[in-house]
Amino acid sequence: MGETPSFFMRDKILYGDCLQTLKEFDEKARMCVTSPPYYGLRDYGGEESQIGQEQSPEEFIDELVKVFREVRNVLTDDGTCWVNLGDSYYNYRKDGCIPKQTFAKNRQDLPETTPRRSNKLKGLKEKDLIGIPWMFAFAMRADGWHLRQDIIWHKPNPMPESVRDRCTKAHEYIFLFSKQKRYFYDNEAIKEPATDWGTRDRSKGKYKVNDYGQTPHSGLTKSYEKKNKRSVWSVTKKPYKGAHFATYPPDLIEPCILAGSEKGDIVLDPFMGSGTTAAVAKSLGRDYIGCELHEEYGNLIKQRVEEYAPVTEVTQSPLLDVLNQL
């Protein structure tokens, strides 16, 4: 039969270090949606190669950039990369420095023991916000990515914090990167209702509403039913009882997938975790390929996909026609 057709790579989990498994791809993904491990938040155990346990934020960022360099190699030329990343605070103690998250998605998120580091982190003072997301964004831009947008994930139900000298943190970032200046982005797929807009009088910059839904004004008015999606997304956290330590809500990444791909495209997640990206991708008619360091999460991922995107009757595809002719 010769070389295995590349479509066998679809809906697959590749186990191991993503820096290596990404090199096994023989098909292009249209987009990447992922949430890497946070810096210093949790030791997932068993692997020296796990990202997030580096000795400094700079080393952590360097490792992430290496991963996304491989991601860029397996994206289509018009592909995009959407990355959710949270921040960390710097705390220093006599027995070492402990950069850790001061809030958690659930009780399991904070480790019982945080890795100790024998040296202070250069340039950081006690209680400093490290600025991990923007360090990452600028490093990605320097590595050749187009930094297109920062999206704010506003959490209406943030984890309470026992702090009295700053606000409770209730947001994270999603960064949109592209390989090239021109890229695929389905603006219409994620537009928001604009029922409160009425009619815009472009000559005066005001909005008017009448019984007919518009006010004639020398051709300068227009009735709007939808508006471009804004860059602040209010999405409630939804815990997943499957017990993986870090899950982002499906509603958070659905607009990413709708805007960055079409039905039948491949969605890539190099840090699969509990499989949220794969589940949402399948529910929207896309295929997925993902990497996961820990093989024991495989059953959890497959269960998540089946629960969120149950298998339905599939019509005969051109790919199956090719198989039948072999």
Give yes or no: residues 84 and 181 share one domain: yes
Specify the pTM.
0.77
Residue ranges making up the domain that contains 131: 6-189+230-325
**pLDDT tier for residue 109 given thresholds of 50, 70 and 90:** very low
pLDDT in tens, 138-148: 999 999 999 99
Give yes or no: residues 236 and 213 share one domain: no
Residue 122 Cα distances to 28, 38, 61, 126, angstroms: 40, 19, 15, 11
In CATH, what number is assigned to the domain containing residue 129?
Answer: 3.40.50.150
Give yes or no: residues 144 and 19 share one domain: yes
Give yes or no: residues 241 and 217 share one domain: no
Give yes or no: residues 71 and 166 share one domain: yes
- Find out whether 30 and 261 touch, Cβ atoms under 8 Å: yes
- Find out whether 274 and 247 touch, Cβ atoms under 8 Å: yes
Lowest mean pLDDT among 193-202, 245-254, 267-276, 285-294: 193-202
Give yes or no: residues 148 and 263 share one domain: yes
Structural domain total, the chain: 2
Cα angle, residue 177 at apex, residues 159 and 168 outer, rounded to 5°: 15
Q: Is residue 1 part of a domain?
A: no
Half-sphere exposure of 99 (CA within 13 A, CB side): 29
Give yes or no: residues 113 and 158 share one domain: yes
Q: Which helix (H) or strand (E) holds 8?
A: none
Give yes or no: residues 84 and 162 share one domain: yes
In the predicted structure, residue 105 carries a pLDDT above the cut 70: no
- In angstroms, the CA 79 to CA 178 distance is 6
Give yes or no: residues 201 and 277 share one domain: no
Lowest mean pLDDT among 32-36, 63-67, 257-261, 294-298: 294-298
Q: Is residue 309 part of a domain?
A: yes
Span between the terminal Cα atoms of the chain, in Å: 7
Give yes or no: residues 163 and 202 share one domain: no
- In angstroms, the CA 76 to CA 83 distance is 17
- In angstroms, the CA 253 to CA 235 distance is 10
